[in-house]
Amino acid sequence: MFLSIRNRSNTQPTPIVQGLTIVMLMVTFQLLSGCVPVYDLATRSLLPNEGVRVSSYNVKTKRLVGFTTSDGVRLISDIHFPKKNGKTPTILVRIPLTNKLGNRVRADVIGRYWARRGYTAIIQGTRGRYGSGGKFYPLLYERQDGIETLEWIKKQPWFDGNVFMWGASSFGHSQWCISDRPDLGLKALFVQIASTSFRRMFHDGGAFSLESGLFWAIRSRGSQDREVKMTNLDQAVQDFPLIEADDRAIGDTPFFNDWVLNQNDNKYWQKIDGVNRTHTLQVPILLMAGWFDPFLPTQIEDFNQVINNANDNVATETRLIIGPWGHANEVTLPGSQQSLPYRPASLAPSIPWFDYNLGIGKDKFNLPKVKIFVLGHNQWRNEKEWPLERTQYTPFYLHSNGKANSVSGGGWLDEKIPQSEEPSDSFLYDPLNPVPSAGGAMLGPRSGIHLQNSIELRDDVLIYSTHTLSEPVEVTGPVRLIIYVHTNVVCTDFTAKLVDVYPNGNAYNLCDGILRRNYQPSKNTEKVPTKIEIDLWPTSNVFMKGHKIRLEISSSNFPRYDRNPNTGEFIPEATKTVTAKQTIFHSNQFPSHLMLPIIPN
């Protein structure tokens, strides 16, 4: 969704961020003084060069180049041309940003980076943004406008017949929308932190991804992007009903309303997500994901769907990278207080990937089928598939003496199925006092890895921990919780979180999930358990010697997800709440367990 090369973590700015800040100041001065911007000298040492073909061309830039769509909307582009004879391949990026100086400088830096290596780079505004006409509404018009853009490129005298696309989030969505059109010159795609299902990103486990949706609405409402003040977001989410959160934050926002209200409207989401785009993909695709990005599970699913359903030549060439990132931002790694910059990582493979698919250069594209960053060890590793073939799915059973509430409650995890009737654990879930979010996979600056210790002091959070590990344990793959529950309300949520506990007691989140569903109230006083499964999303982490594996269970993770008022009313419009009594069973008859994908040493 965001192209800005700005560090969004709590760490100090990275060298590339500091360097590009200097570049922006230089270019701003040059623009104001009437000089031609000279980005290239400054950016040669700042943008990725390792494994990237040496730049060979000077660049000329044309602005406000465009065409009119079939329904009368003028789409505008900045085009960066390499100064060379003959026709050139094209890299197309379609951006939904405001055409202000900062965004234009960042786009120019990247466009000229490609043009200096022989590609014509087109930075085009989507409807209502970056100089293009029409009314801005995220995601809705990308297929129509994308196809007509390819048709327009095909007619240009400088075009050699090959189009590549690059970009993250909604930039990635603009690629998936036209991924079935090699007839219009499409050659290969590089999609980052986006998937074919925005619907499932917004409605994971049946709940609404509130912080992500509202962050987007505050930032992108109207004709101008704006900075998001998290205090405004926090104030907006505190009241009911959910559908008015945007009004309280920034004003009524039609696309936010549609995202909230249309969870079950297939026609609405098909206009955005299409149907089986992984099956109809006709060109190779490089996918880049982040462990703390809200598109992670659906992006991994896209990868496997392509492998299993796309044409052989497409499936064979498709690649997946998963790094230690949130949504276009780096994540501070516990213990090291360091982070791996996202922006250069998202740009570095572009030239090698496009060159490889264009068939130029002597070097092969040296990237495995799957490349993952393993947390804990904090190292990259090459793999052949996802999930890993050598995975040993291992159940860790929940145990307690009936008082697993909070970190001092004594709940534990081990690989032994309960042999007796252990007492169940219960807690009260009050929608007016939800468990606050601390990190996780969200849009905005609060994603990533955060301390969980204050959360684990609450009585409405059940805690189950292993013994202190005598040797490292690697968990890499999809994580799932199978539990037997009871509630006294007709509709409620259950949440779960996998946590790495360090020897000093610091507890850090890895992955989490939620399940919202209806329940049948008991007709008598006996509690009849219901078996449910919660997907905690994929992860890759080595729990080091001296650490503990921990599971948190509750009924809220707010405002990462919206609150369930427990009344059974239509949640977007509900204004009343009731408190739910939640019970978790763990016994020989009801063996609640956490299924971990263990990787042998």
CA–CA separation, 488 and 521 (whole Å): 6
| Residues 292/294/300/301 CA torsion (nearest 10 deg) | 150
Please state, in angstroms and rounded to a whole number, the distance separating the CA atoms of residues 418 and 397. 7
Euclidean distance between the first and final Cα of the chain, in Å? 38
Q: Which whole-number Å values give the CA distances from 599 to 128, 374, 387, 458, 540, in the listed order?
A: 48, 12, 11, 33, 10
Q: Which residue in the list 9, 55, 77, 169 is annotated as catalytic?
A: 169
Indicate which residue of 293, 302, 460, 535 is catalytic: 293
Structure tokens at 522: 């008991």
Q: What are phi and psi of 453, to 5 degrees?
A: -60, -40
Strand pairing class (285-290; 319-323): parallel
195 is catalytic: no
Q: Which two tokens stand for residue 410?
A: 């004594």
Rounded to 5°, angle at Cα 493 from 574 and 533: 145
336 is catalytic: no
Residue ranges of E strands in 69-193? 74-82, 88-95, 120-125, 159-168, 186-192
What percent of the chain is helix, strand and coil (3-state, nearest 5)? 25, 30, 45
- Cα distance between residue 24 and residue 142, in whole Å: 30
Alpha-carbon gap, residue 247 to 241, rounded angstroms: 11
CA–CA separation, 262 and 105 (whole Å)? 37
At position 499, the amino acid (one-letter code) is V
Asked if 381 contacts 372 with a C-beta cutoff of 8 angstroms, the reply is yes
CA–centroid distance for 180 within its chain: 23
Calculate Rg over the CA atoms of the chain. Answer: 25
Contacts of 258 (CB under 8 A, 6+ apart): 268
Integer Cα distance of 505 and 384 in angstroms: 36
Known catalytic membership, residue 377: no
Considering the candidates 80, 327, 486, 593, report the single residue annotated as catalytic. Answer: 327
Which helix (H) or strand (E) segment holds residue 350: the answer is: helix 350-358
Report the distance separating Cα 95 and Cα 130, nearest Å.
7
Nearest CA-CA partner of 596 in 435, 367, 398 = 398
| Cβ proximity of 4 and 102 under 8 Å | yes
Of the candidates 233, 231, 209, the residue with the CA atom closest to the CA atom of residue 221: 233
Q: Which of 402, 397, 549 is nearest to 481 (CA)?
A: 397
Q: Which residues contact 570 (CB under 8 A, 6 or more apart)?
A: none
- Please, which residues bridge with residue 501 across strands? 507, 548
Residue 90 and residue 164 in contact, taking contact as beta carbons nearer than 8 Å: yes
Q: At residue 537, what is the residue type? A: W
Show the tokens assigned to 232.
Answer: 């405004």
Catalytic residues, by residue number, are 169, 293, 327
